[in-house]
């Protein structure tokens, strides 16, 4: 029996030109872990059939495709995940440094692939429900809770193939549109009657929702033989280094403009010993007629929370908590110098209005006192915004 090591898997991403229309993902991002799966929502068939046992079969419910992807992002891959959660504005700059701004708004959809041994599990119509940012052993760690409108990974032959053929049909056991998720250029592997697998490069994915076409091949395979989407060979030639806590400065002040200034230099920045934040879209899985999976993913009310720990030095944060005083926070994280110039990669996030929900100042023997705070990000009516993000990297606008 063949065993497969998870370390050999990959995550690939690509923005969809048309929302919820699959593409072949070609940007590769190393995984820390992932738990993305399809929930077919099976339940026991409890209809009365004259048996004295619970059930003789399973029934399907509404499907969902969701889970977490954990990465240590570089500046280029980080922009992909932000693009799944926020609205990207107009990209400016050049090959020595492109600036991609993001604001609160509806994101773009993605196709992603996750390798599982010889096959790839492809999810399309992917958007981020939630992004959690935290620093772990200096590295920026990103946990992306994603949802999708569909998946393709494996299938079976509907009809036997015997000899020279240029097309095949998928069986409808999983879905009534079994070729959904495939596109021309994909490579699928078809189980032959010998037990070996034949690589098949697709030239068409037919509108009948079950047939795919390819160049003439000699295939002898029985109905019911297995088919899977062949995993790609990942390329990390342009992969950058993860963003680091040590290259991050945080400014906290009464206004966003003052927080920007404070984050501009180490002397004026606020050292944080713990800092994490969560951005949420609260996606609705829109189930409707015509699909067993969600037809679309609709962002609802956006929100964000922050967790901060800093050395207690004076009473300002205790007062801010008791009196619910507005503050603003800006974090600027620098990365590598972009090839061809002197500009550094940069991740900037601005919270225009935050207020402490909790403020713990626990005493422990032999330990300094810390202000440990949970904060809610709020809409600032003065600046007319809640959150702004920008990424400076080497990727042109068409990548996102």
What is the structure's pLDDT at 287?
81
Q: Are 182 and 175 in contact (CB under 8 A)?
A: no
Q: Is the pLDDT of residue 366 over 90?
A: no
pLDDT digits (tens, 9 = 90+) for 244-289: 999 999 999 999 999 999 999 999 999 999 999 999 999 998 787 7
The lowest-confidence range among 21-30, 182-191, 203-212, 283-292 is: 283-292
* CA 233/CA 295 separation, integer angstroms: 31
Average confidence (pLDDT) over 324-332: 96
Q: Is the pLDDT of residue 344 over 90?
A: yes
Q: How many of the other CB atoms lie within 10 Å of CB of 315?
A: 11
State the DSSP code for 76. Answer: H
User: What rounded mean pLDDT belongs to the chain?
Assistant: 95
What is the structure's pLDDT at 17?
96
pLDDT digits (tens, 9 = 90+) for 308-320: 999 888 888 888 8
* CA 385/CA 369 separation, integer angstroms: 34
Average confidence (pLDDT) over 186-193: 98
pTM equals 0.94
Output the DSSP codes for 338-377. PTTSSPEEEEEEEEEEEEEEEEE----TT---EEEEEEEE
Q: Is the pLDDT of residue 142 over 90?
A: yes
242 closest CA partner among 32, 9, 101 = 32
Model confidence band, residue 332 (pLDDT cutoffs 50, 70, 90): very high
Average confidence (pLDDT) over 31-50: 93
* CA 383/CA 33 separation, integer angstroms: 38
Give domain limits for the chain. Answer: 6-40+60-151+237-399, 158-224
Average confidence (pLDDT) over 195-220: 97
Output the DSSP codes for 2-46. ----GGG--EEEEE-SSTT------EEE--SEE--EEE---EE--
- Alpha carbon dihedral 131, 135, 139, 144, in 10-degree steps, equals -10
Q: Is the pLDDT of residue 64 over 90?
A: yes
Q: Enumerate the H helices of 271-340 as residue ranges.
A: 316-322
Query: How large a percentage of the chain has pLDDT more than 70?
Result: 100
* CA 66/CA 357 separation, integer angstroms: 30
Let me know if 12 is exposed, middle or buried by CB neighbors in 10 A (0-12, 13-18, 19+).
Answer: buried
What is the structure's pLDDT at 289?
79
pLDDT digits (tens, 9 = 90+) for 69-123: 999 999 999 999 999 999 999 999 999 999 999 999 999 999 999 999 999 999 9
Q: Is the pLDDT of residue 1 over 80?
A: no
Provide φ and ψ at 258, rounded to 5°: -70, -35
Query: How large a percentage of the chain has pLDDT more than 90?
Result: 86
SS3 content of the chain, % helix, strand, coil (to 5): 10, 50, 45
Sign of CA dihedral 236, 240, 245, 249: negative
* CA 34/CA 144 separation, integer angstroms: 9
Distance linking the first and last C-alpha atoms of the chain: 41
What is the structure's pLDDT at 220?
97
278 closest CA partner among 391, 375, 352 = 375
State the DSSP code for 323. Answer: T
Q: Are 295 and 19 in contact (CB under 8 A)?
A: no
* CA 154/CA 335 separation, integer angstroms: 39
Model confidence band, residue 292 (pLDDT cutoffs 50, 70, 90): confident
How far from chain centre, in Å, is Cα 129? 8
The lowest-confidence range among 17-26, 52-61, 258-267 is: 52-61
What is the structure's pLDDT at 286?
79
Let me know if 210 is exposed, middle or buried by CB neighbors in 10 A (0-12, 13-18, 19+).
Answer: buried
């Amino acid at each position: 029996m063949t065993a497969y090591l998870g370390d050999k898997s990959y995550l690939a991403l690509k923005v969809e030109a048309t929302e919820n229309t699959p593409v072949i993902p070609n940007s590769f991002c190393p995984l820390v872990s992932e738990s993305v799966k399809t929930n077919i929502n099976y339940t026991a068939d409890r209809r009365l059939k004259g048996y004295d046992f619970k059930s003789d079969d399973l029934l399907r419910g509404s499907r969902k495709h969701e889970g977490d992807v954990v990465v240590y992002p570089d500046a280029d891959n980080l922009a992909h995940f932000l693009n799944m959660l926020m609205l990207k504005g107009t990209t400016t700059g050049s090959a020595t440094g492109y600036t991609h701004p993001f604001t609160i708004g509806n994101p773009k959809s993605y196709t992603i692939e996750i390798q599982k041994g010889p096959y790839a599990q492809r999810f399309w119509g992917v958007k981020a429900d939630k992004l959690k940012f935290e620093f772990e052993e200096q590295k920026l760690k990103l946990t992306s809770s994603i949802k999708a409108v569909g998946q393709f990974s494996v299938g079976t032959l509907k009809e036997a193939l015997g000899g020279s053929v240029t097309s095949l049909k998928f069986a409808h056991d999983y879905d009534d549109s079994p070729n959904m998720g495939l596109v021309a250029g994909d490579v699928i592997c078809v189980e032959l009657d010998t037990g070996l697998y034949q690589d098949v490069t697709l030239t068409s994915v037919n509108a009948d929702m079950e047939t795919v076409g390819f160049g003439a091949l000699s295939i002898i395979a029985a109905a019911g033989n297995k088919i899977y989407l062949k995993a790609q060979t990942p390329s990390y030639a342009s992969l950058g280094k993860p963003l680091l806590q040590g290259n991050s400065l945080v400014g906290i002040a009464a206004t966003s403009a003052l927080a920007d200034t404070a984050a501009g230099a180490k002397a004026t920045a606020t050292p944080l010993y713990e800092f994490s934040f969560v951005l949420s879209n609260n996606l609705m899985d829109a189930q409707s007629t015509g699909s067993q999976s969600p037809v679309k993913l609709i962002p609802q009310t956006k929100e964000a929370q922050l967790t901060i720990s800093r050395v207690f030095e004076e009473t300002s944060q205790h007062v801010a908590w008791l009196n619910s005083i507005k503050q603003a926070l800006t974090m600027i994280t620098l990365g590598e110098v972009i090839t061809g110039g002197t500009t550094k990669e940069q991740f900037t996030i601005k919270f225009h209005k935050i207020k402490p929900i909790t403020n713990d100042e626990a005493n422990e023997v032999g330990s300094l006192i810390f202000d440990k705070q949970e904060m809610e990000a709020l809409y600032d009516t003065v600046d007319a915004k809640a959150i702004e993000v920008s990424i400076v990297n080497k990727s042109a606008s068409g990548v996102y």
